[in-house]
Structure 1
Amino acid sequence: MQLRKTIDKILVNFLVIIMTVMVINVLWQVASRFILGSPSSFTDELARYLMIWIGILGAAYVSGRNMHVAIDVLPRRFKQPTQKRLMLVVRVLIILFCLVAMVIGGSRLVYITYVLGQNSPALQVPLALVYLVIPISGILIIFYKTSDILKKE
């Protein structure tokens, strides 16, 4: 699937950019604290938000690559056709969880924080932007799992 490869490439490049910004941010935090003697006020908060984005988007990427942690004791006890049916059930359950918890629940969280006008203390960015990664990641995981279901194995 060309679309899946394109999304993978965009996602991995975005994760690399976020990680690079986070490393530079933390280096500046250490330098400003120990070398300059005047700690920067925004670096701790920025590192925290970047870590949230890396963790949640990274989970979507790993899910798309089927490299996530899985307990395979039960599936290995069955024959191949039963294993395929079990994987289908697992993928459907993942899709349902991501739809309900991440897309719908995450979208409600983004909406509520946007309506309430909540901003981060140091950076003064809307917290809705920080939380926006939850429904985005949910949509990505749903896309990956749906394409896994539709893929001819």
Structure 2
Amino acid sequence: MEAKFQAVTRSVLRIVDRTTDTLALTGLAAMVVVVSWQVFGRFVLSDSPPWAPETALVLLAWLGLLGVAIGVREHAHISVTFVTDRLSRRVRTVVLWLTPALFLVFGIYLMIQGWDFTQLTMNSTLPATGLPTAVQYAAMPVTGVLVTIYSCLQLLNVETGRGALATPEDGEEEGENRDDQ
């Protein structure tokens, strides 16, 4: 039963990870294109497109919040180990458990409050693009869902980092330790 759970978890997590990474990379590429076009328009054509700054801000909001979720997944957030390194092994274990638990609370908060805020902004539009303002704020509940998923899995001792999902088909050995890289 546990092997089946692990296999299903890995498959679902691989899809979620690839989707998240694809969204982040596509958003980053789009932001580079939009900002470059804005600079080109302003300094070369002397006519900056009015939609460019607003579009760049929407993309920045999405990239920043998706970065939070990716950081939780990869255990890449800044941590100060000065104090925890001096704690006993038992207390350090509690602190290491507390980190994903607090991220879980944060993810749930983002889901609930982000959803409410997105709903509140559904009827207003962004002035330059005419998009619903909710497009900008929808990044909050999406990030909340991702952070909640990654935190729950980490609390269940399922490794969520990129190397954890490697399979022999991906060209890596199943038990390979990725911490060395």
Flag whether TM exceeds 0.5 (same fold): yes
Separation in structure 1 between the aligned mates of residue 67 and residue 78 of structure 2, nearest angstrom:
13
User: Where does structure 1 differ by over 6 angstroms across 4 or more consecutive aligned residues?
Assistant: none
| CA-to-aligned-CA distance 1:57-113 (integer Å, 9 cap, x gap) | 11111111101111222321223333222221222122112212x111111101111
The residue identity in structure 2 corresponding to 1:124 is G
The residue identity in structure 2 corresponding to 1:150 is L
Task: Give the aligned CA root-mean-square deviation in angstroms.
Answer: 1.5
Separation in structure 1 between the aligned mates of residue 69 and residue 97 of structure 2, nearest angstrom:
18
Of 87-96 and 56-65, deviating more is 87-96
Note if 1:20 corresponds to 2:19: no
Shift in CA distance, 152/145, structure 1 to aligned 2, threshold 3 Å:
closer
Separation in structure 1 between the aligned mates of residue 66 and residue 38 of structure 2, nearest angstrom:
24
Q: Which residue of 2 aligns with 1:60?
A: 69
Separation in structure 1 between the aligned mates of residue 90 and residue 35 of structure 2, nearest angstrom:
50
Q: Which residue of 1 aligns with 2:115?
A: 107
| CA-to-aligned-CA distance 1:28-81 (integer Å, 9 cap, x gap) | 101111111111111011011101110011111111110111122232122333
User: Could you tell me which of 41, 52, 71 is aligned with 1:43?
Assistant: 52
Q: Which residue of 1 aligns with 2:167?
A: none
The aligned length equals 150
Q: Which has the higher helix share?
A: 1
Runs of 5+ consecutive residues of structure 2 not aligned to the other structure: 1-9, 160-181
User: What are the equivalent positions in structure 2 for 1:109-128 lying under 5 Å apart?
Assistant: 109-114=117-122, 117-128=123-134
- Bigger RCO (CA 8 Å, 6+ sep): 1
Note if 1:144 corresponds to 2:153: no
> Normalising to structure 1: TM-score of the pair?
0.91
The residue identity in structure 1 corresponding to 2:127 is P
User: Could you tell me which of 135, 138, 148 is aligned with 2:141?
Assistant: 135
User: Could you tell me which of 78, 83, 105 is aligned with 2:87?
Assistant: 78
Runs of 5+ consecutive residues of structure 1 not aligned to the other structure: none
